[in-house]
Structure 1
């Protein structure tokens, strides 16, 4: 698994967990969903996310590591 796919997995799980907590515990858990969305938005512009650092620290590799270069088709 790469950092990029791990990040999508983590974000998806966190959204599902926050929605369940909102439904069954308290509507205030929706703020966690908003935090996740804002973090995804800022990472789209900065290409950096704190979760990516954590995933790299536990041993996941970037998708570009060892992959052949991408070339444009004709």
Structure 2
């Protein structure tokens, strides 16, 4: 369950930042890059802050 939530949140962040870049300011693409960098970092280190936050809220695997 945690894995699905992490993927959903990442997808929502990316789509939201893309919409903000198109309709508000192009600099919102930096947020898209930040989310992508965090996804890449978590694939290398096997640690994700969102998973830690979800664990504290009691979400099970």
Q: By the TM > 0.5 criterion, same fold?
A: yes
Superposition deviation, residue 58 in structure 1:
1.8
- Structure 1, unmatched stretches of 5+, are 63-74
- The equivalent residue for 1:32 is 31
SS in 2 for 1:61: coil
Q: How does 1:56-71 map to 2 (within 5 A)?
A: 56-62=55-61
Distance in 2 of aligned mates of 1:58 and 1:49: 15
- Structure 1 consecutive aligned stretches of length 4 or more whose deviation exceeds 4 Å: none
Larger helix proportion, structure 1 or 2? 2
Aligned length: 61
What TM-score does the superposition give when structure 2 sets the normalisation length? Answer: 0.92
Once the two structures are TM-superposed, the CA of residue 59 in structure 1 deviates from its matched residue by 2.0
Say which SS state the counterpart of residue 15 (structure 2) adopts.
helix
1:37-52 equivalences under 5 Å are 37-52=36-51
Structure with the greater alpha carbon radius of gyration: 1
Who is 1:53 aligned against? 52
